[in-house]
Structure 1
Amino acid sequence: MTSTDTVNPEEPPVPAETVRLPTRGFTIDRTKALIAAAVLWAGFAVIVWAVTTGRTTHFDRWGLMINRSGDLTALSGPELVAESVRDITALGGVLLRNLFAIGAVVALLFLKLRREAVLFAATVATGWIVNSGMKALVGRPRPEIVPHLTEAGGMSFPSGHSFNSAVVYIAMALAFASLSARHSVRYTIVGSAMVLSAMIAWSRVMLGVHFPSDVTAGWLGGAGWAFLAAALLYRPARAAADSTDPHPAIPPNSGARTGER
């Protein structure tokens, strides 16, 4: 050991790094959120029109058959593929999806991001209502082209897994993205949530319980609702959060000074 490797016990310890979290985070640009929602809901409307006019038959059959070989009772490829698909689809199931949502609300409250917690909870709750209403209106039965590789009940269009997963994970990403003022960080977080929810959506096709048009419409509608709620429910969520905070960090009318963009 050289002399440079020795430690003098009389030297003062290195101070711990101080991490400061904002009491009120940034928020996404609500105009951009409305534009994103409009594009996504327009795509949803196109899929609804295509399904109701019978224009998705070939696409739906292709999507269901592409992951099956001669033995339609199993996915093509090694067992790892089927196991991975089941793991991915579980992320959009009622249990895990709601556990993550509850955990996100608790984490946001611990971080003193009441506005984001209220907005996220409202987005998830209203999204579930919207999806349930659309399922009742369309009433499409589930596919029978290939055997189902998991249990599934209820109507098929739009996919509830796809819609609610997109709502939960994208809205969660929008909430936690408020911790950073850097656009690149926000876009990365939200983009990752969109990719994850899209993977959950397609896993339903691979398992044979949804048509590709079901999950496409479900994902577009869920993502569209996450952005639409972020824009329309922001002010009510902020008012509700400030009304429950005895010492609000920022007055309700001073949003322009919080770094919102």
Structure 2
Amino acid sequence: MADTQIPRYQWVLLAGLLLCFIALAVIANTAHIPEFDRRIFLALRDPMDSTKEWGPTWLAELMRDITALGSNWILLFFCFVYAVFLCLIQRPYLAKYLLLTVIVGMLVSLLLKLGFDRPRPSIIPHGVRVYTSSFPSGHGMSSSFVWLTLALVATWHTDNVKAKRFLVGVALLTTLMVSFSRVYLGVHWPTDVLAGMAVGLFWALLCYRLARYGQAHYCQDKSQF
């Protein structure tokens, strides 16, 4: 199916996500930590000992497991495996769309981090090791566009609305869990993960619309999509 007409709500969504990221970037680029960030961040700490996460030990371990679902290496592994599968079933263009969206998106994430260079939260010990700056959240951004793109690729040829909503819902839920885990583990401010999700979803939706347009107007053998 050649879904090339962009519904008005998707234009609104794209604009809203971009404006949300810009607003959060302005907030994050201030000299002081916003009170909004600090309050939510400290609410997830043990009130008796702010160096520890709130809740039982097993919850902290669960958050460490969940945060791995936003790791670039884990995401790249899933994407390369799925891309090979797409090639094996004669869908090479879908494989290219998937890999280009993911690889370019991860490069954009790195460039944004280098551009803003916001320090990580330092008021408590980190629950996991970190190697890059804080804004935007790389886990939040990557999990947003990777899991959503995987869901869109998986439902590319189906008109089953329930199936599409289910996979997109799972992708968004996974993104929310990963993003929450980053704040819970003390490695990101809330504005970091909100910005990461906003720009990640923007990137996934933009690439999806470009791929649909390319399929309709430039792909001679549409069976390879």
TM-score range, shorter chain: 0.7 to 0.9
**Alignment of structure 1 residues 63-74 onto 2, 5 Å:** 63-69=40-46, 70-74=48-52
- For structure 1, which segment, 171-180 or 202-211, has the greater mean C-alpha deviation from structure 2 after superposition? 171-180
Of 120, 126, 138, which aligns to 1:142? 120
Summarize the Cα distance change of 1:77–1:132 in structure 2 as closer, same or farther, 3 Å threshold: same
Q: Return the TM-score normalized by structure 2.
A: 0.88
The question of 1:199 aligning with 2:145 is answered no
The one-letter code of the counterpart of 1:40 is L
Aligned residue in 1 for 2:135 = 157
The residue matched to 1:91 in structure 2 has which SS?
helix
User: Residues 4-57 of structure 1, C-alpha deviation per residue, up to 9 Å, x if partnerless?
Assistant: xxxxxxxxxxxxxxxxxxxxxx46565144443222112111211222346861
CA distance in 1, matches of 2:224, 2:110: 37
Pick closer, same or farther for the CA change 1:117–1:251 going to 2, 3 Å: closer
2:23 aligned to which of 46, 51, 57: 46
Structure 1 runs not aligned, ≥5 long:
1-25, 243-247, 253-261
Counterpart CA distance in 2 for 1:135 and 1:166 is: 16
Assess if the C-alpha contact under 8 Å between 2:86 and 2:95 holds in 1: yes
SS at match of 1:119: helix
> For the Cα contact (< 8 Å) 2:2–2:212, is it kept in 1?
no
Relative distance call for 1:30 and 1:149 in structure 2 (3 A) is farther
* Amino-acid identity (%): 31
Q: Which amino acid aligns with 1:219?
A: M
Where do 5+ consecutive residues of structure 2 fail to align? none
2:6 is equivalent to residue 31 of structure 1: yes
Deviates more, 1:221-230 or 1:67-76: 67-76
Which among 208, 215, 228 is matched to residue 206 of structure 2?
228
Q: Does the 8 A contact of 2:135 with 2:192 survive in 1? A: yes
Q: How many residues align?
A: 222
Superposed, 1:13-162 pairs within 5 Å as 26=1, 31-32=6-7, 33-53=10-30, 57-69=34-46, 70-162=48-140
User: CA shift at 1:221, angstroms?
Assistant: 0.5
